[in-house]
Amino acid sequence: MIGYISDNLLIPILDFFYGLVPSYGLAIVALTVVIRLALFPLSAGSIRSARRMRIAQPVMQKRQAEIKSRFANNPQKQQEELGKLMKEFGSPLAGCLPLLVQMPILFALFATLRGSPFADVPYTLNLKVLPAEQIAAVEPKPFNSASHSIFISETNHVPVIASLPGGTKLGEGESATIQLHTKSGESFSNVLSGVENGQTFLPTWSVTKGDSIVSVSQDGTITALAAGDATVEGKIPGLAARSGFLFIKALGQVGFYTDGAINWDIAILVGAFGLSLFASQLLSGMGMPANPQQATANKITPVMITGMFLFFPLPAGVLLYMVIANIFQAAQTFLLTRETLPENLQTILDDQLRQQASTATAGASGSAGQAGRLPFEPRSK
């Protein structure tokens, strides 16, 4: 499903924007904004639900406890009253459904930006080499990898599949050639024959696990050397993987620290991601009663996630998308927190803010009184 959405929805949108402005960096920004605008109603529903539950949760918990205590011996009446309570304030799970609906599109967008043309596309084959006397009893099962759209020019891309007709199980001494072809069955080499500099898009094959088990040549021929498990990987170069945008040296660049040097463009993107995430969390608490535990989480979570992404292998193009998406999310949160609440929730919020202000005033007065006592005077109770 994710591959279908990527090939039939996201890549055509990407092609459209690249046709307007021939810059893959701007195309990423435009694609992100368009998808976020399209998902606005769904994400807005999640933000509204989270805001309302944050206000109603203390009252709901109190009333739920009262209902369960009062109707402990009458389960039917208990469920009826709990249903009325959910109808009054809404279900805490209401915000999850919009989130689940938009997940496939967001995952497809993430996958699109991790593949061609923004990054080198890997094809991974996990192989098992068996002794010659055992391979005769194995029924061959053809292997086909997932399809990836490979850009061979700025406006031309083809879905490419890696296949092993005899399957991923080989006998010692046997050889098998990996076949790259389109969904229609045309070989990838034939596709490249009509493309200028098409040879630059041929894959580079290597053994990433078990180099004593198998060997692989650059034409994709695998030779089984000994029994065991092995992994062969081929990478097709991404057309825009080495193209820059603004301060980004290469959209396909991966890693904060590589070859003994700091990639400052990656550091800036990760830092911008952390700041935008922090801003979004702060905005979500606008106009709400102070919550010390939530405030602590709002400070720690962005730091933890930002630190993780410093060393998580994400291409610069994906990080650019994440920053733009976070900025859009922060703006959306700011707008939605200014919406008028239902009357019952506004009453609860006003009571919470009034109670908090009263507690803060009493605490300040008590502190002032304690601070003004003489050293030999007893503390007031």
Per-residue pLDDT of 289-310, as tens digits, reads 666 666 676 667 767 777 676 6
- Supply 294's token pair: 């939530």
Task: Answer whether residue 265 is part of any domain.
Answer: no
Same domain, 71 and 132: no
Mean model confidence pLDDT for the chain: 76
- Count of structural domains, the chain: 2
Question: In the listed set 212, 236, 260, which residue is the last one of a domain according to the structure?
Answer: 236
Task: Answer whether residue 303 is part of any domain.
Answer: no
**Distance, CA of 6 to CA of 3 (rounded, Å):** 5
For residue 112, give the nearest of 157, 145, 143, 153 by alpha carbon. Answer: 157
Question: Are residues 113 and 6 in contact, defined by beta-carbon separation less than 8 angstroms?
Answer: no
Same domain, 176 and 90: no
pLDDT at 372 over 60: no
In which band, very low, low, confident or very high, does the pLDDT at 79 lie, cut at 50, 70 and 90? confident
Same domain, 6 and 93: yes
The beta-strand segments (E) located in 165-316 are: 169-171, 175-177, 179-182, 204-209, 214-216, 221-224, 228-236, 257-258, 261-262
Same domain, 161 and 103: no
**Distance, CA of 178 to CA of 78 (rounded, Å):** 64
The pLDDT of residue 42 is 77
The angle, 0 to 180 degrees and rounded to 10, between the axes of the packed helices 264-284 and 292-311 is: 160
Q: Which residues contact 229 (CB under 8 A, 6 or more apart)?
A: 126, 127, 128, 129, 209, 210, 213
Mean pLDDT calculated for residue range 238-263: 73
In which band, very low, low, confident or very high, does the pLDDT at 381 lie, cut at 50, 70 and 90? very low
Task: Answer whether residue 160 is part of any domain.
Answer: yes
Beta bridge partners of 151: 157
Mean pLDDT calculated for residue range 50-73: 74
Same domain, 59 and 133: no
The pLDDT of residue 113 is 75
Beta bridge partners of 224: 214
Question: In the listed set 208, 236, 264, which residue is the last one of a domain according to the structure?
Answer: 236
The string over 131-145, giving b where at least 16 C-beta atoms fall within 10 Å of a residue's C-beta and e elsewhere, is eeeebeeeeeeebeb
Same domain, 214 and 196: yes
Same domain, 6 and 79: yes
Same domain, 52 and 143: no
For residue 120, give the nearest of 265, 273, 244, 239 by alpha carbon. Answer: 239
Same domain, 105 and 129: no
Task: Answer whether residue 189 is part of any domain.
Answer: yes
Q: What pLDDT, in 10s, does the model give residues 85-101?
A: 777 666 656 556 666 76
Task: Answer whether residue 276 is part of any domain.
Answer: no
Same domain, 126 and 182: yes
> What is the maximal distance between C-alpha atoms in the chain?
96
Q: What pLDDT, in 10s, does the model give residues 111-151?
A: 777 777 877 888 888 988 888 788 777 788 888 888 888 88
Rg for the chain, CA atoms, rounded:
29
Task: Answer whether residue 275 is part of any domain.
Answer: no
The pLDDT of residue 373 is 53
pLDDT at 370 over 70: no
Query: What is the span of the domain harbouring residue 221?
Result: 121-236
Task: Answer whether residue 375 is part of any domain.
Answer: no
Q: Which residue has the higher pLDDT, 377 or 350?
A: 350
Question: In the listed set 219, 236, 253, which residue is the last one of a domain according to the structure?
Answer: 236
Task: Answer whether residue 294 is part of any domain.
Answer: no
The distance from CA 40 to its chain's CA centroid, rounded to whole angstroms, is: 17
The pLDDT of residue 225 is 87
Same domain, 189 and 214: yes
Same domain, 40 and 127: no
The distance from CA 190 to its chain's CA centroid, rounded to whole angstroms, is: 35
Q: Mapping DSSP to helix (H, G, I), strand (E, B) and coil, where does residue 87 land?
A: helix
